[in-house]
Amino acid sequence: MPTNSSSNALYTKNMFLESCYELKLDLAEDLTTKRIENAYLIFEKEYQNCLNKQVSPHFELSVKAQARDYLLKTIQSK
């Protein structure tokens, strides 16, 4: 059975990968605050466009915001 620290490391790694996936960020490129914010803004604009057209967005903006916040916190802690 994994220890708390190893399962926490796995959770952190998964959250990092999941967050990159949510924002469609290429892991081959360096993550910067600007890249993360720009990726989020694309989804924010798409979300607003859907609302303007009275179409239900195919994603939750709150999930994208959570991914953005996690990644920003992660890169700022390094």
What pLDDT, in 10s, does the model give residues 40-50? 999 999 999 99
Query: How far is residue 33's CA from residue 41's CA, in Å, rounded to a whole number?
Result: 12
Q: Which domain holds residue 13?
A: 4-76
Split into its structural domains, the chain has a count of 1
In the prediction, which pLDDT does 2 show? 45
Whole-angstrom Cα distance, residue 9 to residue 24?
A: 22
CB distance 4 to 55 below 8 Å: no
pLDDT score of 26? 93
For each of the chain's 78 residues, which pLDDT tens digit applies? Answer: 344 555 566 566 799 999 999 999 998 999 999 999 999 999 999 999 999 999 999 999 999 999 999 999 999 876
